[in-house]
A and B are shown apart, each in its own frame.
Chain A
Amino acid sequence: MLQIDRSPAALFAELSEILPIAMVKLDPRGKVLFMNRASHDLLTAMQITPDDLPHALPHRHRSLVRQALREKRVEEMDWVQNGRSLHLVFKASEDGGSAFLFMIDLTAQEDAKAQLIQSDKMASLGLLVAGLAHEINTPLGAIHSNNDTVSRSIDKIRQLLEGQENLTSADRSRLQQLVAILQDVCDNTALATERLMSVVGSLKNFARVDEADFQKADLHEGIESTLTIVQHQLKNRIVVDKQFGNLPLVECHPNRLNQVFMNLLVNASQAIPDKGTITIRTAKKGDSVKISISDTGVGIPPENIPRIFDPGFTTKGVGVGTGLGLSICYKIIEEHEGKIDVESGDQGTTFTITLPLGRGKKVKSG
């Protein structure tokens, strides 16, 4: 049985202090009458001075307070501010003279949901790419083979032509010219086909859908195929300097790491406004490998550094970035029991990934 050994006022005071939900009491005009500790903490975390709450809240909250009081019902709205997603609930007090505002922090759930959607998207992209590569390979196989057959046939025609004696010299030179054109076109198609084959090869390597488990993989292969995918963003603008060391095979999720490489390479290219260089270094250090990706871009302002791995943090315009790229990189590297560090200044930014050669547990036991 609940023992009430204190006055209701004292009980309310204690309860409101320990309540993990932000609770604010507002007068009918929206002025703050009372605020519990959770509200203080939340607003401080959001870099809002608690006294400024009425001004920081979206303007619409005033009409919701009035409505909650007038119609004695619960009014709700969402509020996204400074990287936080809050759900606001307005409820009239018993006497109808004031309104309670509860601020429920949904940031963690929203972030988790966004990350899930993003990794779902990446998984679907992988499936799509693998399916496409498969679909392309059949006609590509036919084209590649046909072109070779045509080239061989042209060769045979040329030989026949040389053995032909009853031809006028005009006909002979016309035919030779036609054979030369055919051969040129054929060589050209061969080059085009090879380019296409290398792109499809990279797509296949990038997607690697049939490989769900941790496995030993060549990280250089992953970096190379990812470079092919982001090539169009770098073209003619950015020089890629590969300083690859001797890397052993690393136990990893190759396609997940490719996602990390892609994110870092795209970020690096977007950080370089005009022309510049992206340097990729790899090296083995003891029981781990280090992969660093440096750009000669604009750098990250020091005040942003602590937040770059936060989900939803972005400085790119709407439609450019989702603000999820680096948070997903962080998560993937964490899954690999590795770490990702950043250094940034006027000269550009360097991301360094450290990965254990084998998964942590195995290294320790072995």
Chain B
Amino acid sequence: MAKQEPPVILLVDDEEMIITSIKSFLAIETDYQLLSYTSPVKALEDLQTKIKGLDLVISDYLMPEMDGISFLAEVKKKFPLVPRILLTGYADKENAIKAINNVGLYQYIEKPWDNDDLRLIIRNGLEKTILLKQLEEKVRESEKVHKELSDVQKEILRVFV
């Protein structure tokens, strides 16, 4: 946990203007490293090859190549713990909510969004990632301790019995 690298966020929206908006906002208010794509297919390609670490992903819902839900489901395969956020327009809200329940998304944000809400959702999502990582570490640690304890126990049994 020593390294303090800025969190990496992946943003996919087929509309360049949405990417510019979110990128600009995050640039002045946060130190997040933003990877942005207008093509979910290209983003998936890079996820398989180039992108090593990822802390959070945001995707638009309606995109010509593939919808946001399918995209996020693919991301889940490679990075199962990374919080997935869906950005939705209006007409697809109902479907999006159904999909959120089916695929297990972290949150959805409706366009037009409020920047403070967006930042809070991202921050909470990242915190969740950190907590999950810490939890994982704790579990690993306690498993290690547990193993040591049982080794000691075996040793004791071997000595006394």
Which stretch from B21-29, B35-43, B69-77 is at the chain A interface? B21-29
Which chain A residue shows the least CB distance to B94? A210
* Max count, chain A CB within 10 A of own CB: residue among B20, B28, B111: B111
Asked whether, in the complex, the Cβ of B111 is within 8 Å of the Cβ of A146, the reply is no
Do B28 and A134 have beta carbons less than 8 Å apart? no
Give the secondary structure class of A's interface.
Answer: helix
Residue B21 contacts which of A133, A149, A210 (CB distance < 8 angstroms)?
A: A149
A137 engages B112 (CB within 8 Å) = yes
Q: Are A145 and B21 in contact, with the CB atoms below 8 A?
A: yes
Residues of A within 8 A of B141 (CB): none
B17–A142 touching, CB < 8 Å: yes
Asked if A138 and B15 make an inter-chain contact with CB atoms under 8 angstroms apart, the answer reads yes
B115 within 8 A of A: yes
Q: Mark B109-124, 1 if CB is under 8 A from A, else 0.
A: 0011111001000000
Give the total of B residues in contact with A, Cβ under 8 Å.
Answer: 22
Residues of B within 8 A of A137 (CB): 89-90, 111-112
Question: Which A144-164 residues have a C-beta within 8 angstroms of B?
Answer: 144-146, 148-149, 152-153, 156
The count of A-to-B residue pairs whose CB atoms sit within 8 angstroms is 66
A139:B115 contact, CB within 8 angstroms: no
- Decide yes or no whether B8 CB sits under 8 A from chain A: no
Cβ proximity bits B80-115 to A, threshold 8 Å, 1 near / 0 not: 000000000111111000000000000000011111
Asked if A204 is at the interface of the complex by the 8 Å CB criterion, the answer is yes
Residues of chain B contacted by A156 (CB below 8 angstroms): 28
Query: Which of B's residues lie within 8 Å of A, judged by CB?
Result: 15, 17-18, 20-22, 24-25, 28-29, 89-94, 111-115, 118
Besides A139-B17, A141-B21, A145-B115, 17 other CB < 8 A contacts? A131-B91, A133-B90, A134-B91, A134-B92, A137-B111, A138-B17, A140-B111, A141-B18, A145-B21, A145-B112, A145-B118, A149-B24, A152-B25, A156-B28, A197-B112, A200-B90, A209-B91
A interface residue numbers (CB < 8 A to B): 130-131, 133-134, 137-146, 148-149, 152-153, 156, 193, 197, 200, 204, 209-210
